[in-house]
Structure 1
Amino acid sequence: MNQWWQEEVIYQIYPKSFKDSNGDGIGDINGIREKLPYLKDLGITMLWICPIFKSPMIDNGYDISDYQDINPEFGTLDDLENLITEAKELDVKIILDLVVNHSSDDHPWFQEALANPNSKYRDYYIFKKSVDGRPPNNWRSIFGGSVWEKVRDEETYYLHTFDKRQPDLNFENPELRKEIYKMINWWLERGIAGFRIDSITFIKKDQDYSSLEADGVDGLVTCKHKTRNRPGISAFLHELKAQTFDKYDCVTVGEAPGVGYEEFGDYIGEDGYFSMIFDFKYSDIDVESGSDWFKRTDWTVEEFRNLVFKSQEAIQKVGWGANFIENHDQPRAISKLIREPQYQNYLGGSALAMMYMFLRGTPFLYQGQEIGATNFTRQFIEQFDDISSIDNYYRSMSEGFSKEEALHFVNLRSRDNTRTPMHWDCSKYAGFSTHTPWLEMNENYKTINVASQEDDSSSLLSFYKLLISTRNTSQYRDTLIYGNIIPIYDTKPHIISYYRTREKETLQVIVNMSDDETDMDVQSATPIISNYEAMQINDTCITLKPYEAMLIKLN
């Protein structure tokens, strides 16, 4: 049965960097309100806003100290109410981030847990006794270093899968789970459309808490083996859904790393935990591990294509996917996926856009993606704000790389690449603010910005508008939204092509992901969209220019 959220086009906002309305250098809720007409004109139907809850901002809001209040730098609850109301008037829905694997160490629960070992809140988190004066095991956190932080004046440690100021919540405690459900329902009652659910596959830990063989020179081993998508998580996720999401007509998007394709039915099947999930297997193609940036890969277009296709086939069998090429944890797609610098522009950006926007599933755009934002190059580690960038820099050197190599890895992969302030125009601070921004701008804002593209029919921004309107409002919408996807594997290695089929209509997407001109055999077809001014279909053969991308209808 079709669901309303399958027709959405979702735009991810990193609020700290989207638009500053009050001149303090930090983006805010009223800045988002100011840009609602822009988003509506782009064709967006839903906004995913990264955490705006009260937080000390150690991990830019993913460390929450009060789940039911707004961080003052973003505004107030009233500001959010106004945003929800004004967005609704434009038929734009809003989802928020749900971060329940961990809280901030500033959260009153954790503060009470530290102050009073006999408090009930000690069991809201995961505390363990030291072993021979050492941490309980040798697990490494996602951000580097041990997952264990010692409690002052006690031979006790608490567990943090991420930063030490993000202690993990103890989902084994039913009282804690009830508190979480109450909070979730409180937000849904306020009129949001649902949640993107952060790091949810980490909420179940292996209860033996045993050490494993080290995988690094630090003597530690990634905690993923014992804390991610572990046996028993299904009970937690079924209960979460039953106590919250099932009571509302809401959408849920799971960040579900570590989930194998054989388990997708549990996550997004008919009785799945979530409406859709992100699949990271193709987005992390440039590194062997999403948390070890110094382990680079020499990937090929063919490998990338096959990962995308395998993901699509697995999702299509059981449910619905969330398609993306950028987010707040990834570098810019143009810089990562387009190898030739001369095509890291409109052509490369439009080829990527065509490639993924018509996949089966709900498309997600990240702020700035629609204008072709690129990575930056920082000269010093002190220029980075992202804690994972800093951890990876020092860990790279501990693994034997030079300072220059470590900085190179971080520049390629830093989460700050997508967290730099949005480029609205070419004025000072790119129209983001009248004040020095909280994070250093990308130096190319004078040439890559919204104002320079808004009235240009040949711009990447205009191309994204065309793709979105074609998916959602054209005569082809039913096929592009609800049709099946049939990957085409037997093309040249640098070609990504697939069919979208529904009843008697077959559409084909063809993308040349290289700087070579190349021929491709096709059936008799009618052109619909191309990222070049004109596409050439000669009987049953197409000559594809470098990074040419097209949508055609088979006759």
Structure 2
Amino acid sequence: MKLTEAKEWWKESVVYQIYPRSFQDSNGDGIGDIRGIIERLPYLADLGINVVWLCPVYKSPMDDGGYDISDYYQIDPMFGTMDDMDELIEKAGELGIKILMDLVVNHTSDEHEWFQKALANPKSKYRDYYIFREGINGNPPNNWRSYFGGSAWEPVPSESNMFYLHAFSKKQPDLNWENIAVRNECIQMINWWLEKGLGGFRIDAILNLKKRIEYGVFPANGEDGLVFIGHWILNQPGIEEWLNEIDELTFKKHNAFTVAEADVPEERLSEYIGENGHFRMVFDFSYTDIDTPETGEWFKQSKWTVKELKDKIMINELITQRNGWGAKYLENHDQPRSINKYLPQEYQDDRSKKMLAVLFMMLHGTPFIYQGQEIGMSNIRMDSITDYNDIATHDQYRRALLSGMSPDEALEWMYRRSRDNSRTPMQWTNQKNAGFSNADEIWLKTNPNYHEINVEQEQMDETSVLNFYKKLIYLRSDFSKYKEVTIYGELVPVESSDTVIAYKRIIDDKELLIVVNFSDAEDQLFTEGCYEQIIANVELPKIVENKFILPAYTGAVFSKILEVE
């Protein structure tokens, strides 16, 4: 493959996702803030990343971790001020780091001025900013289940037989995108932020904008008598007109980095990430959600195999690179820690953490590293469901009990899959609260393993997970002779056993071979050509007659040696 596709700054980026509430507390109130992020910019620059994605810091009552926005133009006092935000954008820019924010326009908080006015006066223009419908004899218009459980319809206070739609929490009423005034408000807000110097947006729940409202009681798919809402609100016909409008009037004008939370069918992917796509890239959920059923019930996890994981990764890679550019990730604020999700407990160690790093960092697309992933942070065991903050965790726990599980059994599943696993405070040192805060009480428990897993100790250990990530990130840097092939090289799968994931990255006369033995047993790989090792997480036997001997949980990158005539 030759380098023919256009080079773009966002293709050559390495993104670091921050959950601000948990990253660094600068004022001792037990909550992370923007000034804390500013303090840690040198660490991020040293890591080698050049884009930071911030989970929401807008003004919010925090019913859903800031994804319930009450004012798009204000920073929540919990995180600081707009002056702090301006300083973050400026100082990050001085270090060559761009800032992405979350764009949440499917819904607002119920405390947003628009919704408050819609409730106060049914005849105001703001009533049409949201989706209100009459019920059926005092019951909701239908039996849709919200993503967070319970009915997706909430009764309107002081109005009989009137309901509003919320695909997520009842404190997150959905906006009515059929209303051009709503679209114009959102477009104006997006441009306001981009003109401040923002690098772009991670776009939340964007495929839910278009709704197909139907009345009635549909066949239930859960013990609660409700039905999954997605069939009626995900990727509905006509949504592409709105997405194109947003792109033309905002993102394209600013050459903005946009990555959408969008599960797009293959036949439409080029519309979304192609040369004239609505976004620069979208996240793939096929392998990151491999452990949960389509209904999203964490306590009914699927019994996936490595072969299934391998197939899902490779299918997605081939489809995505045919259509555009991909966004690669193992962890984010909605996922548990990858080491707990993908590896049996007895093999959750630094070797397997590095193996996972090789697997995902070398794929075709822009890598997204979630805070703490680079030091190998893991899930946390809570003593009680009351220790969890996440609204979805409390709903999943309730549904697990409804299914017949005991409280202990349900709590075990929360340990495996709760979103709070990734939201525990960043582990900087082995001191109080892992160096996150000097407060006596912090907003969410710190994982007790911070005494062993923390930035300070890993910086001093050349063999640490942190320094291994730095080596992988370096391959994509301007100083690396492997930059072009690592970023732009075509991904070509290599035939291997069911538990070995192997692929090549090829561009012009450069070729990398990436090999991952995703099992606890030694395996081998046969391939033609002569290769030299660049990076590996274990001592590898010498390559003999095109045969690679792969110890358990190997993760390695090789470069093909050109034959000299």
Q: Which residue of 2 aligns with 1:224?
A: 230
In structure 2, what is the Cα distance between the partners aligned to 1:290 and 1:237? 27
Q: State how 1:127-526 maps to structure 2 within 5 Å.
A: 127-154=132-159, 155-209=161-215, 211-257=217-263, 259-289=264-294, 291-339=296-344, 341-435=345-439, 436-472=441-477, 473-488=479-494, 490-523=495-528, 524-526=530-532
Structure 1: 5+ residue runs without aligned partners? none
Deviating more after overlay: 55-64 vs 242-251: 242-251
1:455 Cα shift? 1.6
Residues 201-232 of structure 1 show CA distances to partners (whole Å, capped at 9, x for unaligned) of 11111143554321112111000010111111
Q: State how 1:90-105 maps to structure 2 within 5 Å.
A: 90-105=95-110
1:515 Cα shift? 1.2
In structure 2, what is the Cα distance between the partners aligned to 1:265 and 1:134? 41
1:84 aligns with 2:84: no
1:528 aligns with 2:534: yes
Q: Which residue of 2 aligns with 1:112?
A: 117
Report the number of matched residues.
552
User: Contact 1:284–1:290 at 8 Å: present in 2 too?
Assistant: no
User: Helix, strand or coil for the counterpart of 2:193?
Assistant: helix
In structure 2, what is the Cα distance between the partners aligned to 1:294 and 1:53? 32
Deviating more after overlay: 399-408 vs 49-58: 399-408
Deviating more after overlay: 193-202 vs 294-303: 294-303
In structure 2, what is the Cα distance between the partners aligned to 1:173 and 1:69? 24
1:8 Cα shift? 0.1
User: Contact 2:141–2:215 at 8 Å: present in 1 too?
Assistant: yes
1:550 aligns with 2:522: no
User: Helix, strand or coil for the counterpart of 1:537?
Assistant: coil
User: Contact 2:100–2:202 at 8 Å: present in 1 too?
Assistant: yes
User: Contact 2:176–2:182 at 8 Å: present in 1 too?
Assistant: yes
What amino acid does structure 2 have at the position aligned with 1:412? R
In structure 2, what is the Cα distance between the partners aligned to 1:544 and 1:47? 35
1:526 Cα shift? 1.3
1:535 Cα shift? 5.0
User: Contact 1:143–1:291 at 8 Å: present in 2 too?
Assistant: no
User: Helix, strand or coil for the counterpart of 1:184?
Assistant: helix
Q: Which residue of 2 aligns with 1:5?
A: 10
The structure-2 alpha-carbon separation of the partners of 1:448 and 1:56, relative to structure 1 and needing over 3 Å to count, comes to same
The structure-2 alpha-carbon separation of the partners of 1:474 and 1:209, relative to structure 1 and needing over 3 Å to count, comes to farther
User: Contact 2:290–2:309 at 8 Å: present in 1 too?
Assistant: yes
Residues 486-505 of structure 1 show CA distances to partners (whole Å, capped at 9, x for unaligned) of 112x3111111101000112
- What is the percentage of aligned positions where both structures have the same residue? 50
In structure 2, what is the Cα distance between the partners aligned to 1:93 and 1:516? 42
Residues 76-104 of structure 1 show CA distances to partners (whole Å, capped at 9, x for unaligned) of 00001111111111101111000000000
In structure 1, what is the Cα distance between the partners aligned to 2:215 and 2:527? 56
In structure 1, what is the Cα distance between the partners aligned to 2:53 and 2:174? 24
Once superposed, which parts of structure 1, at least 4 consecutive aligned residues long, lie more than 6 Å away?
none
Q: Which residue of 2 aligns with 1:537?
A: 543
User: Contact 2:540–2:551 at 8 Å: present in 1 too?
Assistant: no
1:295 Cα shift? 2.0
Residues 449-483 of structure 1 show CA distances to partners (whole Å, capped at 9, x for unaligned) of 00110021100000000000012231111011011
In structure 1, what is the Cα distance between the partners aligned to 2:157 and 2:165? 14
1:368 Cα shift? 0.1
Task: Give the TM-score of the pair, scaled to structure 1.
Answer: 0.98
Residues 29-74 of structure 1 show CA distances to partners (whole Å, capped at 9, x for unaligned) of 0100000010000001100000000000011100000001000010
User: Helix, strand or coil for the counterpart of 1:500?
Assistant: strand
User: Helix, strand or coil for the counterpart of 2:532?
Assistant: strand
1:116 Cα shift? 0.6
User: Helix, strand or coil for the counterpart of 2:260?
Assistant: strand
User: Contact 2:142–2:214 at 8 Å: present in 1 too?
Assistant: no
1:400 Cα shift? 2.4
Task: Give the TM-score of the pair, scaled to structure 2.
Answer: 0.96
1:402 Cα shift? 2.3
User: Helix, strand or coil for the counterpart of 1:471?
Assistant: coil
The structure-2 alpha-carbon separation of the partners of 1:209 and 1:93, relative to structure 1 and needing over 3 Å to count, comes to farther
In structure 2, what is the Cα distance between the partners aligned to 1:466 and 1:290? 39
1:263 Cα shift? 1.5
Residues 119-167 of structure 1 show CA distances to partners (whole Å, capped at 9, x for unaligned) of 1001000000011110000100000000000011212000000000000
